[in-house]
């Protein structure tokens, strides 16, 4: 089992550019979560999918952020346009329906200059 896979692991971009983060959940897991972690705010839930359907996107900070899950094995988080305050570590996590344990990916460290 490869665990949750995220790419890229590091991303450095300039303000105003589009950023796309990718996630492959663990096979068989029905729920997928995107988090953002900063020193100031800790780990914040951005959006939660169940069976590829967005269930709760109340944590998405603004319209510049969007997320999709076109199938059970792939999700993207897009920021357009990016701003320096978006700099953070973005984690993807997945969990099976039968359990609450969330398995986290290695994260993407985003730096917006």
Partner 1 sequence: QKEVEQNSGPLSVPEGAIASLNCTYSDRVSQSFFWYRQYSGKSPELIMSIYSNGDKEDGRFTAQLNKASQYVSLLIRDSQPSDSATYLCAVNPWGGGYQKVTFGTGTKLQVIP
Residues in the site for partner 1, rule: CB under 8 A? 31, 33, 41-45, 48, 50, 55-56, 91, 95, 97, 100-107
As measured in angstroms, the least distance from the Cβ of 93 to partner 1 is: 8
Of 105 and 110, CB closest to partner 1: 105
Of 81 and 89, CB closest to partner 1: 89
Taking the C-alpha atoms of residue 87 and residue 110, their distance in angstroms, rounded to an integer, is 5
Backbone phi, then psi, for 33, in 5-degree steps? -130, 140
Of 50 and 66, CB closest to partner 1: 50
Taking the C-alpha atoms of residue 12 and residue 32, their distance in angstroms, rounded to an integer, is 25
As measured in angstroms, the least distance from the Cβ of 26 to partner 1 is: 13
As measured in angstroms, the least distance from the Cβ of 80 to partner 1 is: 25
Of 30 and 81, CB closest to partner 1: 30
Closest by Cα among 92, 7, 103 to 47: 92
Q: What share of the chain is helix, strand, coil (3-state, %, to 5)?
A: 5, 55, 40
As measured in angstroms, the least distance from the Cβ of 63 to partner 1 is: 22
Burial class, 87, CB count within 10 angstroms (exposed 0-12 / middle 13-18 / buried 19+) = middle
């Amino acid at each position: 089992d490869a665990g949750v896979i995220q790419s890229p692991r590091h991303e450095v971009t300039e303000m105003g550019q589009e950023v796309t983060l990718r996630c492959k959940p663990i096979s068989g897991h029905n729920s997928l979560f995107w988090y953002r972690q900063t020193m100031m705010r800790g780990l914040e839930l951005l959006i939660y999918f169940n069976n590829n359907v967005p269930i709760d996107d109340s944590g998405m900070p603004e319209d510049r952020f969007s997320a999709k899950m076109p199938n059970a094995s792939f999700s993207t988080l897009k920021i357009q346009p990016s701003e320096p305050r978006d700099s953070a570590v973005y984690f993807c996590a997945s969990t099976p329906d039968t359990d609450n344990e969330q398995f986290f990916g290695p994260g993407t460290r985003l730096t917006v200059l």
